[in-house]
Structure 1
């Protein structure tokens, strides 16, 4: 890609010219899966095993979903092993990781290994971008169109596009005029970007910005980090994990995979039963120190029972965190920007990142932190970035780490139409409405994973994905056994679920933060809680109950 060519959409991916069955026009299948990440891999394996004809359409070039796109410097997962992998014994039995929190290269290797062990390739079309899909109630089939003009007809459509497939790039004037190299973090060049001896900029300090900063600060001549809101990062206790240690632990893997479904966030830990005011000050500090030493998300979703309901408890956690940051940053002015005395929002109500040496980078003379909270970026010029005070920050390379139109944007971007032809974007203009975070009224025989109004953003990915996928497979099996033409969520049930999701959020501190959880990072987007906040165990119990009650809330139309 030319240095100044900023890729913005997946539709810029070149179509595949392979003429095999997976790429045939007018392809007919029982189930079409869109996306080849964890969800696509797991569902393809399970549905094929149940006897269905299944195909995957994947926009990328290989399995891995977000990990084929997120190959920017320092990209790694913030769930530790073995929680962040599929519970399939045929995969994990002979697979071993190198690090506690694997990086993108190792995650790509993992998905390649899944392909090898499960023979996924034979039923997958790569470089295939879905551009439109609509259900026909007369035929009982989905008509799915691709960017290169192909059609697929499927009884069931399963969008497995995740919560972060629609990039958000601010419409700064002059982006196209920049003379240096510029890339959004999830459209990163395969051959990487060399910043040695160059002036580099990272715009954004979410998880991606934090990870790029950690890497670029070590090699760039000058690094300027543009921060709107400080990231309240938790320290990552990264380490190499010997093969022998992993193999010895595999005797309890089945137990661990079951246990992760009992944790609020899909981890093997969860909130304690005691509230913040039930601890003495000494006990609370000792408890938080233990969580901090764990070096994982237990400080976020394994802490005080009322941390996201009680501002006093929440502030106690923030003050503890702030003290940790100030111990690591030498310059008080920089420390105040990174960890201000007045919290920018309630602790944990914007997604914290796990960092290894992020804060130490700002002690280096070549690293500069620019706050754009009250001095925003107003345009990009050939030589760099201009802020509202008129200053031109001259740079040679820009990493656009501005995140995504998260949770809802991925599905809207698929150009889905309901049976009457209405675009999902229009149906959701006043807020997302789903049933059980799995289906949408007006879209029969369509089930999605890891998307709106499920625990999604508050859950370890593979945990929730397997819970939802197992449910979907059971539903499809029931539909076929009972000669059902299509299944559709009832509008009343959908409205009740959507209201329930919002009511849960209103009882917490989360709406007080302008987060992507609330859709607040994208101008013009409806501000609402996009995810279910009662936790993974409660969610699993609820959807299982609906299944056992004869799919209550759904209309079933027989052939």
Structure 2
């Protein structure tokens, strides 16, 4: 096992491309970047934060435009999420053959997946394959994170600083840091007093962690916690799971692929390239039937058929009404609850692990493999902490509000992220007149289509709030859309001989109103979860993801580009 010092170094590790030391929510960032001398700064056309799915493709595209561009990433290699998340059981829950780039048929077909939902090691190998195939590493600075960036009103350029002391003078500052890259690590009083190691799942050590024969506690039962729990249950001596919010978990059907399977999905390349960007969630499946058009028996038959598919299809392509109609959502929720009850069997476990106070689909829906059955093992104990919360971590374990102390050797925190905004608000980004993005988003989370923010010229963004990539999307589909839009905008500026693009206040306001009108019609907006930022005390409440659909978002963003970028000031 890693020693405690190593565990804490990983636990407190940096965000992807960003400062690892978060500002407390609500406190202003007071640091002001000192002006860099021209001799000290490296002059570039573009700096990209991140070398994950978005960052790699963005780097490739801007190099194709002939720009002098550098990507910066705090990780030691390419991969983004798939470099950081090495925790036990980490894997896709998007089908592998749709979680790929679609801009190059040979790039797509020259890689073969071993199964429908591969694990982290295979996913990371795929990203290494992409980086090597496109020769991207020569323009990536690894083990480097951005500590701050400042727009210079006089030069109309960005000054970007890193922890290594490098300074970049760049025209475009493009963020591809990911929507789940700012982990919630220091959650509990007394974490530094624990005698054993504490690991956050997103900062899992790259060296082997020996859990065999240990008393392990897992805090958190979201998608990540579920993967960890189901994977380590038969390895540890004793597993205590601290359950606050139960999840509507769906069983994963994950067959291995043989040569016939691989050939079959590769033969669908053109179909997938056309279909994925235009569905509701960027997956290959979409809503096909209206609830009212089917009889009760037909609805049940459809639910049973989709449930047996063993994917996210029940969530993302059963009935769209589950997102809008509380009664229909309740019927589908009860269908899933009964499936879970049948597997759990134990009334106490059912009471603890089957959701009843929110509807199916209004939270992130995880896929699992025998997760529920894990709780029927003698060495696994589920502890409810909604009404008896964790109050502190002691040297010997975790203490609850009623004074109970659960003695542990290892603590695993699957406690989630400051989603959508955290990767950027944890660094000091200063726009026109020195305005702070941390402070601006601390008051009100706004953007123009998730691609730009008023007051921050030439700051172009991916996977931030008010775009589908903030949550409700197959990430590669949405990140390809966004990076291609950014590339198109820069190409437009080149053709026009212009230097600056910035969202106007009016354009941003129009998009925010459209986003809110769309989001507030859904049940998601009425359900506390990280989708609204409600897992972060003091974070402004707004549905983070655009809920109008991936295809609709694509049509709207492409229309803006085709019409000469209304809602943006270009000069």
Q: What TM-score bracket applies, with the shorter chain setting the length?
A: over 0.9
Q: Does 1:32 align with 2:33?
A: no
Tell me if 1:96 matches 2:100: no
> Conserved in 2, the CA contact under 8 Å of 1:416 and 1:424?
yes
* Alignment-derived partner of residue 20 in structure 1: none
Structure 1 residue 40, shift from structure 2 partner? 0.8
Note the C-alpha offset of 1:54: 1.4
| Corresponding residue number in structure 1 for 2:537 | 523
For residue 381 of structure 2, give the secondary structure of its aligned residue in structure 1: strand
Query: In structure 1, what is the equivalent of residue 234 of structure 2?
Result: 218
**Does the residue aligned with 1:162 lie in a helix, a strand or coil?**
coil
Alignment pair present for 1:328 and 2:332: no
**In structure 2, which of residues 163, 170, 179 is the aligned counterpart of residue 163 of structure 1?**
179
* Aligned match for 2:12, one of 8, 31, 35: 8
User: How does the TM-score come out when normalised to structure 2?
Assistant: 0.93
Separation (CA, whole Å) in 2 of partners of 1:399 and 1:91: 37
2:25 maps to none
Q: Which runs of 5+ in 1 are unaligned?
A: 16-23
1:157 is displaced (CA, Å) by 0.9
Q: Which residue of 2 aligns with 1:315?
A: 330
In structure 2, the partner of 1:281 is 296
| 1:17-416 correspondence to structure 2 within 5 Å | 26-87=41-102, 88-275=104-291, 277-340=292-355, 343-416=356-429
Matches within 5 A, 1:461-540: 461-540=475-554
- Tell me the secondary structure at the aligned position of residue 441 of structure 1: coil
**Which consecutive segments of 4 or more residues in structure 1 shift more than 3 A?**
11-15
The answer (yes or no) to whether the contact 1:345–1:512 under 8 Å persists in 2 is no
CA distance in structure 1 between the aligned counterparts of 2:210 and 2:304, rounded to whole angstroms? 38
Q: Distance in 2 between matches of 1:253 and 1:14?
A: 35
> Residues 460-488 of structure 1: CA distance to partner in whole angstroms, max 9, x if unpaired?
00100111111111110110111112111
CA RMSD after TM alignment? 1.7
Asked whether the 8 Å contact 1:229–1:344 carries over to 2, the reply is no
Instruction: State the partner residue of 2:27.
Output: none
Quick check: 1:11–1:147 contact (8 Å CA) kept in 2? no
**Counterparts of 1:280 and 1:414 in 2: how far apart (Å)?**
54
Q: CA deviation at 1:297?
A: 1.1
Distance 1:100 1:237 in 2: 8
Equivalent pairs counted in the alignment come to 546
Report the CA distance between 1:251 and its aligned residue.
Answer: 2.4
Q: Distance in 2 between matches of 1:108 and 1:229?
A: 30
- CA gap of 1:137–1:480, structure 2 versus 1, over 3 A, is farther
Distance across 2 between alignment mates of 1:398 and 1:62: 27
Counterpart secondary structure, 1:428: helix
Q: Where in structure 2 are the equivalents of 1:411-422 lying within 5 Å?
A: 411-422=424-435
CA drift at 1:13: 10
2:36 aligned residue: none
Give secondary structure in 2 for the equivalent of 1:485: coil
Contact 1:262 1:268 (C-alpha < 8 Å) held by counterparts: no
Q: 1:114 to 1:375 in 2, by over 3 A?
A: same
| CA distance in 2: counterparts of 1:448 and 1:284, whole angstroms | 41
Residues 8 and 167 in structure 1, CA contact (< 8 A), matched pair in contact too: no
TM-superposed deviation, 1:14: 13
Summarize the Cα distance change of 1:3–1:316 in structure 2 as closer, same or farther, 3 Å threshold. Answer: same
1:532 is paired with a residue whose SS is coil
Q: Distance in 2 between matches of 1:170 and 1:179?
A: 16
Q: Distance in 2 between matches of 1:14 and 1:35?
A: 9
Alpha-carbon distance in structure 1 between the residues aligned to 2:336 and 2:208: 33
Q: Which runs of 5+ in 2 are unaligned?
A: 20-38
TM-score, normalization by structure 1: 0.95
SS at match of 2:213: coil
1: CA distance, partners of 2:517 / 2:384:
34
| C-alpha displacement of 1:12 | 11
Equivalences for 1:446-457 in 2 at 5 Å? 446-456=459-469, 457=471
Cα distance in 2, alignment partners of residues 258 and 53 from structure 1: 31
Once residues 552 and 242 of structure 1 are traced to their aligned partners in structure 2, the CA distance between those partners, rounded to angstroms, is 49
Alignment partners' CA distance in 2, 1:12 and 1:481: 33
Structure 1 8/499 Cα, relative in aligned 2: closer, same or farther at 3 Å? Answer: farther
CA contact (8 A) 1:201 1:395 kept: yes
